[in-house]
A and B are shown apart, each in its own frame.
Chain A
Amino acid sequence: MTDLTGLTMAAALDGLAKKDFSSAELTAAYVTAMEKARPLNAYITETPDQALAMAKASDARRAKGESRAMDGLPLGIKDLYCTKGVQTTAGSHILGGFTPTYESTVTQKLWDAGAVMLGKLNLDEFAMGSANITSYYGTVESPWRKAGDNRPLVPGGSSGGSAAAVAAHAAIAATGTDTGGSIRQPASFTGIVGLKPTYGRCSRWGIVAFASSLDQAGPMTRSVTDAAIMMGVMAGYDAKDSTSVDIAVPDYRAALDGSVKGLRVGIPKEYRVDGMPAEIERQWQQGIAWLKEAGMEPVEVSLPHTKHALPTYYIIAPAEASSNLARYDGVRYGLRVEGDSLDKLYENTRAAGFGAEVKRRVLIGTYVLSAGYYDAYYLKAQKIRTLIADDFKKAYQQCDVILTPTSPSAAFALGEKMDDPVAMYMQDVFTVPANLAGIPGLSVPSGLSSDGLPLGLQVLGKAFDEETVLKVGRVIEKAAAFSTKPSFLAGE
């Protein structure tokens, strides 16, 4: 039998359809891979029994000719999605022992489409981080190594477990969430595809909230086609989420076949940031050249306020988080550290339950909302957010998509950039503007750094135009023909 874990979702669906193998076999291969991948610490919770049972049910459906869009595909789920009966941690000690009695809307859609759950994937605590080093359940290691250097690398974050598992073939695909780049940056670091959809495209119901106005669920896959397939299942209006948008979900996979000829690709002149490595710049130019070859027209666009995006983000996201995380108080679920008064119980529980980065952001968020500072920080940031969103609206009068690098660097070693929070925050410089503007962004692997590490290009699109984003991403994917695999593969 071929290496089942080496197949993309699209190929696996073909194989399943042709009865080359069953979902039970595919899932069993992934259960083995998941065990083998334990040194990466990508999974917080493995659910092999549930996976095999779901696979069996999938095979039974297929036998009856009732197979669905993702029937039999074994997925890893970022442990920010609440899963009924399976512990959900958000990578935090404060949710210790929490087992939801409910299923998030997006994962429910995936199970309804026949997908199989392998387990829950590690992440930065409450999705706060860009290296997957803030999880209470330990850091995640990238399956990649620099050429001639065996030091462990970060997989990026916050969806680091998702990225590591998909890249190492310990899941055929995974869910991620993206608040400031948490899908795209780890995808770029690990050589996979990651799509942050338009805000409102996927339901947030049942996903542990970090920053409500920025959080968005999305797929992390090994190909653009897989991202299109998975996106079609994850997307859709949810009456339980007041910010979810009620417009029809297109056939993303079908959209991939369309031509890009004549489409205009915007190149934002402000994205040449100081100190950006030359190889990142080269990748970018290469990407422009590929799109040109495919018949697209590059146009220079201006996004003058995007240079303010990062500090703006670091006001808005912590402010919302400080409020969203108030519910973790030791009363109704999760960790409780007793105290002789209710306030002491709160303070003890939250001191013990939150890690350093979460505390940092909750404190910043509390500060920027507090009396006397609200106007100077929060209100100001909201106004700049308007300007950033307006920049994109103006740019999209001149172009159909925008191309940028995904991240200002390739993956770095565990331990690097860890003593200076601001240096770490710079990781999100290219990804954060899309969250502030609510627009879709896709990271596609485009090549290798001089150290032999994956680099990614980011395609940004108009709101609710994931179809064009995916179509352009597919062009880059074909042109780049990225096929390098990480040094560690959990599959056969």
Chain B
Amino acid sequence: MSGLLIEGSTGTWEVVVGLEVHAQVTSNAKLFSGASAEFGAEPNSQVSLVDAAMPGMLPVINTVCVDQAVKTGLGLNAAINRTSVFARKNYFYADLPQGYQISQYEKPIVGEGVVLVDLPDGSTKEVGIERLHLEQDAGKSLHDQHPSRSYIDLNRSGVALMEIVSKPDLRSGDEAAAYLTKLRAILRYLGTCDGNMEEGSMRCDANVSVRKAGDPLGTRCEIKNVNSIRFVKQAIEYEARRQVEVIEEGGTIVQETRLFDSRQGVTRSMRSKEHAHDYRYFPDPDLLPLVLTEERIETIKASLPELPDAKKQRFMEAYGLSAYDAGVLVAEQETSGFYEQVVTSSGDAKLAANWVITELFGQLNTAGKPIAESPVSAAALGQMIARIKDGTISGRIAKDVFAEMFATGKDADAIIEEKGLRQVSDTGAIEKIIDDVIAANQDKVAEYKAGKDKLFGFFVGQTMKASQGKANPGMVNEMLKAKLG
């Protein structure tokens, strides 16, 4: 149970959340024009005459954007609609040059689906997908360049977006965050959206309402354009508490659009944008219905990669990993791929998981690097683990070796060689060290023999120290036991 329950003065309130995610489709060109969809360029330089809505210009759809939407639909276990229709959403805005956005209204390309969300307490929850449709992005208005003017850049105008609408199945900010995390992972696995929230290639609107348990849905407020997963959680939690407060003070919730102020952590009404919208949707007469053949859908289905849920299951079954470890490793496709390479080169799935999750992630975190920039390659880490397994180094020494690998990029064998870290497993050599330790600590030997068992650890420590950590710990244990009787 990860639902947020708010204790108000009149009882316990439940939070109901549905998310609308705008995900930029990964493609070279825009949805209906041949201009580049790449992020960041000179203003109005990635704009075709179609994107600028010059008189007489007409849209022609980008085939890859269609494929990407279908692929995403399949990845969300959703129904693919064989016929979908593009409609015009009519409204005036500075960054909407056509005076309408080409979107999909009554007949979206993707229908209902489901996402399995991994909650912080280790449980999972099914969250329904209402629909996914293709639409054009708007341009960008800059309001801070001039005291009385706004500047308009149409580079984003016409870039393909997928609007992915969830059902109101989420019950807290945490669930919303978990849903977004999972959705983002799926999109990134599929390669249909890079999921970059800072650059705006994934944006989120949250519909939030509150109700007493068992009551029908309350009036919702839409929080627009929240640009990080953390903020989505904060915004929902703030908004839910605000609504409870309003209702308990005798007020009513007005259906409205609100903006999240991330500095103050509050949502604010955007009444200026509210002015009686009537979008007058109608099928775009410049386009024909989009009909998908079974063959096309099957081809796309065949190209689907293994998705996080399936991969997690496989990691648990094939590698014997815990659900938690498997979940961590599959969160990003790069991580899971890295891990599997470590498994291959080390030959030990569990050790590989421990080293990737604990040591590698730790070091990457400290260094602030993504896994793609890890100074230690998967093969190198695998080789190092292999050295633990074949007894060349101990697990403890391995930590030092790994730190050195991370710092210098050298491989394990080179470091072991250079620093003489090879584990001593020679009985004679270890026996000599043990004899020296016993000889130097006769008083402790007497105490041990008199029954002070705890001193055994002292002898192990002294022996390891004298061997500079290189003595094989298992052998040290055994031989000490034999000698001390």
Contacts and interface: CB of A to CB of B under 8 A. Distances in A.
Is there any pair of Cβ atoms, one from A and one from B, under 8 angstroms apart in the complex?
A: yes
Interface of A: 81-82, 88, 90, 95, 98, 100-102, 104, 204-209, 211-213, 239-243, 319-320, 322-323, 325-327, 329, 331-333, 342-343, 346, 366, 369-371, 374, 378
Given A205-B58, A329-B99, 9 more contacts: A82-B55, A205-B57, A208-B56, A242-B287, A242-B288, A323-B88, A327-B98, A346-B92, A369-B282
Interface stretch (B46-54, B65-73, B209-217, B220-228): B46-54
B285 A332 contact: no
B256 to A, nearest CB: 18
Contacts of A209: 55-56, 286
Given A240-B60, A320-B285, A98 B55 contact: yes
A90 B55 contact: yes
A83 B255 CA distance: 48
B58 A242 contact: yes
Contacts of B88: 323
Interface in B128-155: 150, 152
Contacts of A378: 282
B100 interface: yes
B97 interface: yes
Contacts of A370: 278, 280
A253 B58 CA distance: 30
30 contacts: A81-B56, A204-B56, A204-B58, A205-B58, A206-B57, A209-B55, A209-B286, A211-B285, A212-B286, A241-B60, A242-B58, A242-B60, A242-B61, A243-B58, A243-B286, A320-B285, A322-B90, A323-B100, A325-B99, A326-B92, A326-B99, A327-B53, A327-B98, A329-B92, A331-B94, A332-B54, A342-B150, A369-B90, A369-B282, A371-B280
A171 to B, nearest CB: 21
B59 interface: yes
Contacts of A322: 90, 280
Nearest to B96: A326
A164 to B, nearest CB: 24
A327 B150 CA distance: 18
Contacts of A325: 99
Contacts of B94: 331, 342
Residue in B54, B61, B152 with the greatest tally of chain A CB atoms within 10 Å: B54
B286 A102 contact: no
Given A323-B280, A346-B92, A370-B280, A102 B97 contact: no
Contacts of A329: 92, 99
B282 A100 contact: no
Contacts of A346: 92
Interface of B: 49, 52-61, 88, 90, 92, 94, 97-100, 150, 152, 278, 280-282, 285-288
A326 B100 contact: yes
Residue in B60, B97, B280, B287 with the greatest tally of chain A CB atoms within 10 Å: B280
Contacts of B52: 332
Contact of B97 (A204, A327, A342): A327
Contact of A332 (B60, B97, B100): B97
A101 B54 CA distance: 10
B287 A95 contact: no
Contacts of B57: 205-206
Contacts of A204: 56, 58
Contacts of A371: 278, 280
Q: List 7 A-B pairs, minimum CB-CB distance, nearest first.
A: A326-B99, A369-B280, A213-B285, A212-B285, A327-B53, A206-B56, A208-B55
Given A82-B56, A208-B56, A211-B285, A101 B49 contact: yes
A163 B308 CA distance: 67
A206 B55 CA distance: 7
Nearest to A244: B58
Nearest to B32: A242
A471 to B, nearest CB: 30
Contacts of B99: 323, 325-327, 329
A326 B150 contact: no
A333 B280 contact: no
Contact of A100 (B54, B152, B286): B54
A95 B55 contact: yes
Contact of A326 (B61, B90, B278): B90
A334 to B, nearest CB: 9
B150 to A, nearest CB: 7
A208 B391 CA distance: 79
Nearest to A342: B94
Contact of B286 (A242, A327, A343): A242
A333 B54 contact: yes
Nearest to A238: B58
Nearest to A207: B56
A366 B280 contact: yes
A319 B59 CA distance: 19
B31 to A, nearest CB: 12
Contacts of B55: 82, 88, 90, 95, 98, 100, 208-209, 327, 333
Nearest to B283: A382
A234 to B, nearest CB: 15
Nearest to B286: A212
A422 B265 CA distance: 58
Contacts of B100: 323, 326
Contacts of B286: 209, 212, 242-243
A327 B101 CA distance: 11
A331 B97 contact: yes
Contacts of A239: 60
Given A213-B285, A243-B286, A342-B150, A326 B56 contact: no
Contacts of B282: 319, 323, 369, 374, 378
A342 B61 CA distance: 31
A367 to B, nearest CB: 9
B174 to A, nearest CB: 37
Contacts of B92: 326, 329, 343, 346
B277 to A, nearest CB: 9
B54 to A, nearest CB: 7
Contacts of A327: 53, 55, 97-99
B58 A326 contact: no
A378 B282 CA distance: 9
A92 B285 CA distance: 23
A102 B60 contact: no
Residue in A100, A211, A240 with the greatest tally of chain B CB atoms within 10 Å: A240
Given A240-B60, A342-B94, A102 B278 contact: no
A94 to B, nearest CB: 10
Given A323-B282, A326-B92, A326-B98, A331 B58 contact: no
A344 to B, nearest CB: 12
Given A242-B288, A323-B90, A331 B280 contact: no
Contacts of B56: 81-82, 100, 104, 204-209
A202 to B, nearest CB: 13
A138 B333 CA distance: 66
Residue in B55, B58, B88, B285 with the greatest tally of chain A CB atoms within 10 Å: B55
Contacts of B281: 369, 374
A100 B55 CA distance: 8
